[in-house]
Amino acid sequence: MKKKLKIVGISLLILIALLIASPFIFQNQIKDMVRTYINQNVNATVTFDDVNLSFISSFPQANVTLDNLTITTFEPFKNDTLAKIDFLSLDMSIKELFKKMDEEPLIVNAIAIDNALVNLKTNAVGAVNWGIAKPNNTKTSTTNADSTGFAFDIESYKITNSAFNYLDESTITIFKIANLNHSGKGIFSGNLSELDTNTEANVSFSMDGTEYLSNNSLKLDALIDLDLANSKYTFKENKALINDLPLEFKGFVQLIEAGQNIDISFENPGSTFKDFLAVIPKSYAKNLDNVDTTGNFKINGVIKGEVTETKIPTLDINILSNNASFKFDDLPKRVENISINVEIKNETGITDDTYVKINTLNFKIDEDEFKSSATIKNLTKNMLVDAHLDGVLNLGNLTKAYPIELTNKLEGILKADLNTNFDMNAIETNAYTRIKNNGAISVSDFVFSSADIVNPINITKAAVNFNPGTITLDQFIATTGDTDLNATGTINNLLGFLLSDKKLQGDFNVKSNVFKISDFMVEGGSDAPVNQSTEPATALKIPAFLDCSITADAKTVYYDNLILKDVKGDLKIADEKAQLKNVTSSIFNGNLTLEGLVDTKSTKPTFNMNVGAKNFDIAQSFNDLNLLKALAPITKILEGKLNSTINLSGSLGDDFTPLLNSITGDAFAELLTTKIEPKNEQLFSMLESKLNFLDFSKLDLKDLQTKLSFDNGQVTVKPFDIKYKDIKMTVGGSHTFSNTMNYQIVLDVPAKYLGSDVNNLINKINDPAVNTLTIPVTASISGNTLKPQVTTDLTSGVKNLTTQLIEIEKQKLINKGKDKLTDVVGGILGGNTPKDSTSTQTNTVVNDVLGGILNNNKPKDSTSTDSIKPKTQVKDVIKGLFGKKKE
């Protein structure tokens, strides 16, 4: 006995050892098996991290697992991910591992998939991304041993934590299944078997931009008879839960050569109105346990017919409720007199013949009744709508009657009496002749708030009148913050804006008594000054949905620290851009004109603007307007008027003011001023101390014209001339927006302004020509406007002038001596005696001059014996002065 137990024990140990060791033995064979299957059957790129084999987890069967399996497709869906599966497990008999896949199929008994994502797509021309199987002339069957690849004789399967996406680009159909957990088990031997399934998922479905299911919770327990011989699947005991709406259904689905044949009927087993509330997604419905309902609700339907490339099943779905009501315990309002009669029909099996008929959708809150009806046809193509709205609705009662959480505050009274008939293509193409509207909609005391606006918008009254071909805004009176608005106009495509992705088009006249830009600033904006040298993280945007023309007339506009009066002009708003035309205003006791473009479509909002200023008050405008202050910082000392034209472009900050370091352009300015007040300006005090002959308060700048250019944060001033008394001054240079300066003032200074020493020389020379003598003096200005630095070359100029004057005086004395000497000597040599002098006087002058020149002073009483010697000397002197020099 012990020997037998020992043998059994050893056998078990050997078996366990084999079970543990076998995966390593067959590892390469399993990998080759998977690669062979992929290469033989799939036109796609398939990758996986590893393949593992185990006999322990699924004993007595073998378990094969693949980790991180990814399938990417070829053209026309190149590199699209068709499927990504974190974990795929296959259970099969051990003997299947020894089959050759190119000769017979492997039979799989169980499948488990975890964390899978499957993306199915049909493009606009009808190609599908899941057609990756290679063509095979051999029919594949669960019982055909001659076929290759995998065959399935499934006893159970399981899909957990997975998702499924389907997109049809031709019909813009989107179907999504999220959080999918699905399992099935049964006996699959023979042609007749039974499958028991359990499914939980969240389902979303939309078509052509209309969302019909939005992450709705779905639970389904289905017992299905499988007639494999006839490919017929019959639903026996089936219960579904859509959100909290219970449904029971029965019928069958059968595969046919052309597609599927369907015959399914369903209905809700209960009949209370609470079943209707259960259809609403839980994110909106909240807790239905504390709601009191009256009245009935019934939904039933039949889906019957073939599903082929050209046909769909006929539909007959009905939703009915009569005289129902509901009230949530913790809310004050009851919704009553609810009547619902909706039909979803298709009587031909042709997709385009499907229609929805809302015969009645009525309700009442307090004394306000709202009634509506509509017929919607041709759902999948050019949808046709014929609707009627009639009633009154207090919007503030919505949250008092139903526990919906609105992000934005909503108040006001809505009144509607409107008939509308249109097709979606007419809206999309603005074919107004096919849009039939008749009636009116108005709102009063409407309050709307949003995170996108600073202040709630209070609409006192708004009225829209619908006529065939035209929609008019008859009245729009509103306030937000301190801003008031009064608008009228025409709207070209209101339905396109409300029902499609069209932009709001129209022409509007807007009037305002007070309009504050800050009332429309995004959150985070403030009235505090913005550092215009840096760029903000975000900027105000012109709404993308606007495509309209606006004629504006505002009495007072507050823009940052500026107050503009009588603002008028035209704005064309489109594509997140605003084109300004003929915009005029009164500011700084003068007139302002604007023409240009503001573009907020890009990440960095930009502008390109022509600005005209006429009769601006210089002191006020340069003190309050950052742009002018940056262009000419020292101009604040002026008093008077300014005319200017400025052409500039650049980037905008988050308060719609220019970022100074980004702007480029040029300006032309004309000063209409006669008064300067430089007393408190350090720069001019330093200039006057360096050039004490100047008094800037007496400088006349009237009719001065100058040109500026600016780029990369630097302003360049083209040299211009001004005059102080009889001093000409040429000014030019540049400065930066950070106030560093590099300017030169070149003065043409008459000699008479250069001090007593110079003036004494001038008086001594006593020559009118010398009085007009000038010298250039250059004053260089550097530093910044708060700490300027001034240097001049006045000292060197005066020194040079003094030297020049001394040389003039010397030359004048020499010339004067030459003239006298010439006259005297000529008289002596020619025997001429000056008419007004005696011979004695003449001899005295000659002796004095020549004695002084020749340094040969002789006493006046010299004897006559020496008289010949001076004559000889005179001749020699004359030759030296007027004759040729001897070599």
Q: Quote the distance between the C-alpha of residue 670 and its chain's center.
A: 38
Q: Is pLDDT of 144 > 70?
A: no
pLDDT digits (tens, 9 = 90+) for 86-98: 988 888 776 666 6
Output the pLDDT for position 204.
87
The three-class DSSP label of residue 812 is helix
Output the pLDDT for position 832.
52
**pLDDT interval class at 33 (50, 70, 90):** low
pLDDT digits (tens, 9 = 90+) for 382-436: 889 999 999 999 988 988 998 877 777 778 999 999 999 988 888 777 777 788 8
Q: Which of 467-481, 511-525, 587-601, 773-787 has the lowest mean pLDDT?
A: 511-525
Percent pLDDT > 90 in the chain is 25
Residue 777 phi/psi, 5-degree rounding, is: -125, 125
Output the pLDDT for position 188.
61
Q: What is the mean pLDDT of the chain?
A: 78
Q: How far apart are CA 36 and CA 66, in angstroms?
A: 15
Query: Which is more confidently placed, 392 or 517?
Result: 392
Q: How far apart are CA 133 and CA 809, in angstroms?
A: 114
Mean pLDDT value of segment 334-339 = 94
Q: Is pLDDT of 764 > 80?
A: no
**pLDDT interval class at 147 (50, 70, 90):** very low
Q: Residue 456, preceding bond cis, omega within 30 degrees?
A: no
The two three-digit tokens of residue 690, written as one number? 């360096």
Output the pLDDT for position 32.
65
The three-class DSSP label of residue 682 is helix
Q: Is pLDDT of 38 > 80?
A: no
Q: Residue 776, preceding bond cis, omega within 30 degrees?
A: no
**Alpha helices of 500-615 — where are they, by DSSP H?**
none
User: How big is the chain by its Cα radius of gyration, in Å?
Assistant: 51
pLDDT digits (tens, 9 = 90+) for 263-322: 999 998 877 888 888 777 666 666 677 889 999 899 999 999 998 878 889 999 999 999
**pLDDT interval class at 877 (50, 70, 90):** very low
pLDDT digits (tens, 9 = 90+) for 853-865: 334 444 444 444 4
Percent pLDDT > 70 in the chain is 77
Q: How far apart are CA 324 and CA 649, in angstroms?
A: 64
Q: Long-range contacts of range 557-560, CB-CB < 8 Å, 24 or more positions apart?
A: 557/512, 557/515, 557/516, 557/517, 557/585, 558/514, 558/515, 558/516, 558/517, 558/518, 559/517, 559/656, 560/517, 560/527, 560/529, 560/655, 560/657
Residues of the chain by 3-state class (helix, strand, coil), percent to 5 = 25, 50, 25
Taking Cα atoms as reference points, which of 108, 103, 96, 92 lies closest to residue 147?
Answer: 103
Identify which of 179-188, 195-204, 448-457 has the greatest average pLDDT. Answer: 195-204
Q: How far apart are CA 627 and CA 633, in angstroms?
A: 10
The two three-digit tokens of residue 146, written as one number? 């001659």
pLDDT digits (tens, 9 = 90+) for 20-29: 444 444 556 5
Output the pLDDT for position 531.
31
Output the pLDDT for position 197.
87
pLDDT digits (tens, 9 = 90+) for 695-754: 887 777 777 888 989 888 888 999 988 888 888 899 999 988 888 889 999 998 888 887
The neighbour count for residue 663, using CB atoms within 10 Å, is: 24
Give Cβ neighbours of residue 155 (< 8 Å, ≥ 6 apart): 109, 110, 185, 186, 187, 188
Domain positions in the chain: 25-133+148-170, 468-523+538-725, 833-887
**Strand runs labelled E in 495-589:** 504-516, 546-559, 562-574, 577-587
Q: SS3 for 855-869, per residue? A: CCCCCCCCCHHHCHH
Query: Which is more confidently placed, 343 or 704?
Result: 343
User: With the C-alpha atoms ordered 763, 767, 769, 775, is the resulting torsion angle positive or negative?
Assistant: negative
pLDDT digits (tens, 9 = 90+) for 816-859: 766 666 665 555 555 554 444 444 444 443 344 334 333 444 44
According to DSSP, the residues that pair with 368 across neighbouring strands are: 365
Mean pLDDT value of segment 321-329 = 92
Total residue count of the chain as it appears in this document: 887
Q: Is pLDDT of 203 > 70?
A: yes
**pLDDT interval class at 543 (50, 70, 90):** confident
Query: Which is more confidently placed, 528 or 212?
Result: 212
The neighbour count for residue 384, using CB atoms within 10 Å, is: 17
